[in-house]
Structure 1
Amino acid sequence: MGKAQKTARRLIVHLGVQKTGSTGLQRHLQLNADALADRLILLTPEKGSPMRPLGRAAVAYSLAPAEKTARALEDALREVLVTLPDNDLPVLLSHENLAGAMPGNGGETALYPALPQITRIVRETAADFAVDFVIYTREMSNWKPSVWAQAVRTDGYARTLPDFLDETKALPAWDDLIARIENVIGAANIISVRLEDEPKDGHPGRLLLRHAGLPDAQIDALDPLDETANPRFNSGSTEFLRRLNEAALNPHARGKVVDLVARAQHLFTADTPSEGTL
């Protein structure tokens, strides 16, 4: 009898997208990294890790899809995969920027037009793995204002929320994005999860961990996350940064101002609490 064929190592790729709870999910994973170490290999965008360049390469490809940016994305993913320990544990890779540029970043106004091609590049580059993808969605009426606030904060977006909503009024529903991905990699390889279906029990990413093979009892035993991750700036702080963005300040200097605003939001409003948490 011949040797049994070795099963390919599993690679679960969490694509985000931005403003669907990815930061809290990743913090929860890192908080419990030791407890998960014998069950999952975790890859999140930690400072100094090759995951950071991977996210930047995906955004760059999405804004300018071409042979050069595609090769850069492939190379960035290989730099991540080469760091994996030599064992058979499933790998959970989580990076919201793998989805590409969100609306408001770099002039993007569509709903992740390059994401189907990004999933194809990832799957082909990780051909030795059994790859599947998980994408979180969020109700559009809540998602768009949160994306706008994040674009103002991190991407230098300078237009108002009504302007942003007008720019993105033609965005299709999430089903359209999922269908476009399925057309490229097949329906069996993409899992769509609604953020609203996540239990609010201190264990963000429960549905992702279930997909990775962890039973609820093991997830319940993990340390809960007891803080709000990546809270949205209050309205006064966001408006201050939006107007600052109109001045086209040097990016380094602007980053310093954003850090100051993050630490002193009370200076921009005395009465209004932070609007939302995502």
Structure 2
Amino acid sequence: MQPHSPRRVIIHAGFHKTGTKTVQNVLKAHHQLLAPHVCVILKSDIRGLCTAALAYSQRPDTTRLHHFRNEAALCFGDMPADDARPILISAEDLAGAIPGRRKRIGYPHATALLSSLIAQMTPDCAPHIYLSTRAPAAWLKSCYAHNLRHARTRLSLDAFVAAHTGPRLDDIAAEIASTLDPVPVTTAALEETSGAAEGPLTPILDLLAFPDALRARLRPTTVSNPSLPPHILDELLELNRNEDDGARRNAAKKQFIADYMRRTQ
């Protein structure tokens, strides 16, 4: 009898604003093509796990970490034992919440979350962490725009950047790799992958040793969550600073963005 090969589990755990949405959209669009070769799990498939990760990263305590571990155990416990396909999980929330809210800088709880996730895997799993990164200036600008849009950030861009001059994503990834050793951790910068044939999905396909013939069938996709222009960001900032009613503020922000998107289509 041949020895049983470990089941590979690739965890694309972030970081936010590094092309993760583009990766997930391509995976979703090509579900039928990929399904015979890899078990793809996206955020929509593990909402409980992602919610628990966000809750712990926003207010870390033992109760929330225990809840996250329980959700992880449920996630891996539901996987059929006779399925030999590698598993790909793509969910940036598994590294914690995006920096910016509640004065959160970087990803201080990513290691605890990923360590707990790996600990809940069955012994026949071989985990491999993949972290997409991005150059500091572009990444912070994108995080700022996200917080303007989805939270009540009232800082200017310069003030936001000055408040988040913490570790670079590369440094955070290196710390995660050091702590999780011997679990392998691979990184790739968005600036490097954007020009590749499969875009930000390229490093994941490489890790999966996906055949060239199948890779050629992956249709190119447009960039998800494109940047908003400065004048729209200025409007969002003014609303965050001056509109105290949350419902009116959020409705107005959605309207500004919707109007802009219609004009540019």
Q: In which range does the TM-score fall when normalised by the shorter chain?
A: 0.7 to 0.9
Q: Give the aligned partner of residue 92 of structure 1.
A: 88
Q: For the Cα contact (< 8 Å) 1:12–1:133, is it kept in 2? A: yes
Instruction: Measure the CA separation in 2 of the matches of 1:104 and 1:181.
Output: 20
Instruction: List per-residue Cα deviations over 1:70-104 (Å, max 9, x = no partner).
Output: 11211222343344345111110001111112221
**Residue from 122, 129, 136 that aligns with 2:132:** 136
Instruction: Measure the CA separation in 1 of the matches of 2:100 and 2:48.
Output: 21
Instruction: Measure the CA separation in 1 of the matches of 2:259 and 2:168.
Output: 37
Are 1:121 and 2:116 counterparts? Answer: yes
State the Cα distance separating 1:248 from its structure 2 match. Answer: 4.5
**Residue from 26, 32, 35 that aligns with 2:33:** 35
State the one-letter code of the partner of 1:220: A
Instruction: List per-residue Cα deviations over 1:240-264 (Å, max 9, x = no partner).
Output: 22232234543x6554444323311
Q: Give the aligned partner of residue 182 of structure 1.
A: 177
What is the TM-score normalised by the length of structure 2?
A: 0.88
State the Cα distance separating 1:136 from its structure 2 match. Answer: 0.6
Q: Give the aligned partner of residue 81 of structure 1.
A: 76
How large is the RMSD of aligned CA atoms in angstroms? 2.5
State the Cα distance separating 1:58 from its structure 2 match. Answer: 1.4
Q: Give the aligned partner of residue 16 of structure 1.
A: 14
Unaligned runs of 5+ in 2: none
Return closer, same or farther for 1:102/1:178 CA change in 2, 3 Å cut-off.
Answer: same
For the residue of structure 2 that corresponds to 1:18, the secondary structure is coil
Instruction: Measure the CA separation in 2 of the matches of 1:101 and 1:125.
Output: 21
Choose between structure 1 and 2: higher helix proportion.
2
Return closer, same or farther for 1:232/1:187 CA change in 2, 3 Å cut-off.
Answer: farther
For the residue of structure 1 that corresponds to 2:43, the secondary structure is coil
State the Cα distance separating 1:166 from its structure 2 match. Answer: 1.0
For the residue of structure 2 that corresponds to 1:93, the secondary structure is strand
Q: Which moved more, 1:118-127 or 1:192-201?
A: 192-201
State the Cα distance separating 1:134 from its structure 2 match. Answer: 0.1
Identity %: 24
State the Cα distance separating 1:162 from its structure 2 match. Answer: 0.9
Return closer, same or farther for 1:52/1:106 CA change in 2, 3 Å cut-off.
Answer: farther
